[in-house]
A = this chain, B = another copy of it.
Amino acid sequence: MTRDPSAQPRSVEDHAGLVARMLEPLSDEPAMESVPLDRALGRVTAGEVRSEVDLPLFRNAQMDGYAVRAADVRSVPVALEVSGDIPAGHTSPVSLIPGTALRIMTGAPVPTGADAIVPVEDTELVLGRDDDLSGAIVEIRRPRERGEYVRERGSDVRRGDVLLAAATRLAPRHLAALAAAGVETVSVRSRLRVGILTSGTELVAGGKPGFGQVYDANGIALAALVEEAGAIVSVRASSGDDPEAFARILDDALHRSDLIITSGGISKGAYEVVREVLLPRGADVTTVAMQPGGPQATAVVGGMPVFAFPGNPVSTQVSFIVFLRGPLRAAAGLPELKPREVALTEPLRSVPGRRQFLRGLLDGEGAVVPVSGPSSHLVAGMARADVLIDVPAEVEALQSGAAVTVWTL
């Protein structure tokens, strides 16, 4: 429980760089897996996807109407014999007898010999009925050029062409294109598997907390943050202050995860279980010049990166957002959530020497109002915020109207 007053706290930038480097191997060569289209929404393509077919698959009609030779309808009006009917889904090829017309439905294959579709609006059946075309005669009232209302095979995409670029986050329109091209499964980046271990004797395991006990807010918060960042939770476990018990859940989690996040147990007090277990395994336990979230530790255990955050629920969430969210989103192929500048609606004070991440709420005009206090236990207060206000270490006070950087929560 002694402190080394000579130790310089590490800057947020330096610690963020270290965390990002630890995750680089997972990001640079992401694992991939094949998923069926109906489970692929929101996933990110592992590589580019080329079409194995022409789209349209065959030359087809763009309108309901009559398939003709453009040469036969050059002078209008002209009456043509209706020599047959081609509904959509017609499954055998048809040829057009020159000088006649074939009734055709949108999407149906254009018959051999036909080179234009006359939309039904520009025609009239002068003999016969819609439901009985035997011996029918259609009058064509408007000429059509060769190719009009004909969708050529491959006019949307050609076999071998790129259908989707690599790193495409799959939206409905991408799934539609894949389905149209007959693709049934798509190769996407695997989601990183994240083990979440919360620690602290004060955490109640279930039921009502006794005297001195609290509910665990960090397990659910980290799980939700991990999921939002495009990864999945492999293990969620909690331990008290017994190092052996913590070591057991850590070893178990390491076998099933790509990285581990812990909360609590790393400050310099007594009974700091995470620190006690990770230090002999080569952990880098440090203080980052930030509030909340000062105590931080990282380790590589069995080749697996471990990120140890402080246990106050606001500290845990801010640590994730500042250090892990960006690298995890990058590994998942999700777009960066860039901090941006907005105006402060009221003055605020900050502790010098530490970069502060205060809670703020954007008002209707895009300015930010500080909400709740700076203290790291104000977990309900944080729920009222929608951004973190990032106050540089050297700043002690900001005036109303000052520009501040905010991070979206």
Contacts and interface: CB of A to CB of B under 8 A. Distances in A.
Contact of A106 (B56, B131, B210, B269): B269
A409 B221 contact: no
A76 interface: no
A174 B213 CA distance: 21
Contacts of A176: 217-218, 220-221, 224, 313, 317, 379, 382-383
Contact of A313 (B64, B157, B180, B372): B180
Given A41-B227, A92-B211, 18 more contacts: A1-B130, A2-B130, A37-B220, A56-B377, A57-B209, A58-B211, A89-B240, A91-B213, A107-B214, A109-B211, A109-B212, A151-B377, A156-B378, A157-B380, A177-B379, A179-B221, A180-B217, A182-B209
A225 B38 CA distance: 12
Q: How many copies does the complex hold?
A: 2
A212 B90 contact: yes
A269 B105 CA distance: 7
Contact of A380 (B103, B177, B385): B177
Contacts of A164: 383
A38 to B, nearest CB: 6
A203 B87 CA distance: 13
B241 A89 contact: yes
Contact of A172 (B208, B213, B225): B225
Given A41-B228, A312-B106, A212 B58 contact: yes
Interface in A257-313: 267-271, 311-313
Interface string A346-358: 0000000000000
A169 to B, nearest CB: 11
B202 A130 contact: no
A319 interface: no
A377 B270 contact: no
Of A103, A174, A268, A312, chain B has the most CB atoms within 10 Å of the CB of A174
Given A89-B202, A173-B383, A379-B55, A269 B64 contact: yes
Given A224-B41, A267-B64, A377 B156 contact: yes
Contact of A216 (B179, B219, B240, B241): B179
